Amino acid sequence: MAKNIVLGVTGSIAAYKACDLISMLRKKGYSVRCVMSKDAKWFVTPLTLETLSQAKVIKDMFKLPDKRDPVHISLADEADLVLIAPATADVISKIASGVCDDILCCTVFASDCPVLFAPAMNDKMYNNSIIQDKISYLQGKGYHFIGPVKGHLACGREGIGHLAPVEDIVEQVDKILA
């Protein structure tokens, strides 16, 4: 039986790489269900993610689900892993602070499966001591991270904060689910 991955896509320029992630995960036999933060739609469309995952994208916490159970609970119950890629400073901070104001954060808090963050952000944001403290806090609580790499950033310079290579993220997923 296929393992179920909930892929959280957030508002980062790296959101387009979620498309490659979905394709690679599906080729490996994983079932992928996407959850979009409200800002993710500025970078990639739900239609693109639905086409690649072959599953309805969840983007609204209060839209009535097909079944009458809360959608964040049913997503969490079905998930073998929650992968947040790209993970912005915003979503990392909200989850570390216990903020449940969107479908992605609520799904994470309702899950009892492993959660893997793949951060992507500006180098100054990633190196900010507050974000580093939030990452350390979440790691201490058992959350998994695959760190960003040095690369070309949206601001035009090179630095740490570029999303880890998609192949490396998929390899980490395999290790966690093994």
Query: Which residues are designated catalytic?
Result: 155
Distance, CA of 108 to CA of 97 (rounded, Å): 13
Distance, CA of 17 to CA of 137 (rounded, Å): 26
- Buried residues in 127-163 as b, exposed as e (16+ CB within 10 A): eeeebeebbeebeeeebbbbebeeeebeeeeebbbbb
Task: List the structure tokens of 141.
Answer: 């609580």
Could you tell me the CA-to-CA distances from 137 to 49, 87, 88, 109, 162 in Å, in that order? 31, 15, 16, 15, 22
Task: List the structure tokens of 102.
Answer: 């969107």
CB 52 within 8 A of CB 24: no
